Amino acid sequence: MATVQPLAEVRAVRETGRRMRSRLLDAAVEMFKARGLSGVSVAEIAAAADAYPSQVTYYFRTKEALFVEAACREVLYVARQAEQAAAGAVSGSDYNRRLVETVIGSPGLALFVEALSLTRRRPDLAPQIARTFERLHAEGDRAYAEARSRRGWRADGDAGVAARRFWTLALGVTLREGATETSIGDAVDEMMALLRPEPARTAGAR
């Protein structure tokens, strides 16, 4: 007759597993931000987390899967930090600038850009990226709509579209910054210019 494991033991095992996954992610993300995917080994991640290399593969299967999950978690942290930084904005332009200054140049966003590039070669990792975009857009939509309602700002288009446009521009500017000698200050100015609404065209203008 099969032995039924007590519920308390099952919960304890699950909690231990969650703590180990979190430790591995915490250790990995700092190393990845400093040295990139190729510059970090599974053994180094395990040692930094006081774990065994086999535990990395047990919880994440591959270093690449761990990298993508770490990058996705990190960009969501960046989004939360940006929302907090923009909470006290007194105008729509001030709101945008606080968001941009928090996001552009952040190691977490650069890590996410690298994860996007990786998933082009590893489509099995794409669902994690897709779920992260859904959260980024939903949270950005919610935060922007709340800020407009709270401050009584005029609505310039759909909040959901604004959130998607923001992250599309942020990723593009970050990719360019990493591939060129563009400074963070110049990248911030570039994105602020891209976010600025186009002037309304007069009738008959081409």
Are the beta carbons of 174 and 110 closer than 8 angstroms?
Answer: yes
Residue 151: the pLDDT is 79
Q: What is the pLDDT of residues 53-104, one digit of tens each?
A: 999 999 999 999 999 999 999 999 999 999 999 988 888 889 899 999 999 9
Domains and CATH numbers, the chain: 7-60 (1.10.10.60), 67-195 (1.10.357.10)
Q: Closest by alpha carbon to 34, among 86, 136, 99, 107?
A: 107
Counting as low any pLDDT under 50, the low residues of the chain are 199-206
